[in-house]
Amino acid sequence: MLNGAHLHLLLNHFPIMGSLFVTILFIVALISRNVSLQKVSLWFLVGIALLTVPAYLTGDPAEESLHGLPDISRTMIHTHETMARFGLILMFVTGLIALAGAILTNKRPKLPPVLLSLVLVVLLLNSGLFAYVGFLGGQIHHEEIRTPSTTTATLKQH
């Protein structure tokens, strides 16, 4: 049976890999000046923004499933949770920009350069932030990727 941790581990890949995928797709669309691909990228981005919500909401149930496990740092969980909240907010704003852009430019033959620039900037920010959020989340239960300052000995103090 799936628990909160399973669901979180399944869903958290959507904002991480999705923002990276859409960033690459959008850059290809910009370089090739393919307006159709630019518009598709905006709609993909809206979808990724929507999938970010359940990824975030499954974080607390995932945390609850970690209670009682050895070598789990509450500090690491809190840091991951805080950065994930920033990611959720940024992705929400990004999704709104993409949705507004996709709807407002639906009948236009070309997307406004200011929209293209804004979407590119927020996509790059999202990709970087969610890569970091994923890294922080991985450190919670994967000692092999922790920095030396967060080894098991350090964790036992928390």
User: Which residues 6+ apart lie within 8 Å of 98 measured at CB?
Assistant: 42, 43, 45, 46, 49, 119
Closest by Cα among 130, 128, 152 to 141: 152
| Residue with the larger pLDDT of the pair 65 and 149 | 65
Which pLDDT score is estimated for 153? Answer: 47
Which pLDDT score is estimated for 147? Answer: 60
What is the Cα–Cα distance from 50 to 20, expressed in whole angstroms?
15
pLDDT digits (tens, 9 = 90+) for 52-95: 999 999 998 888 888 877 778 888 889 999 999 999 999 999 99
pLDDT digits (tens, 9 = 90+) for 42-51: 999 999 999 9
Contact 16, 134 (CB under 8 A): yes
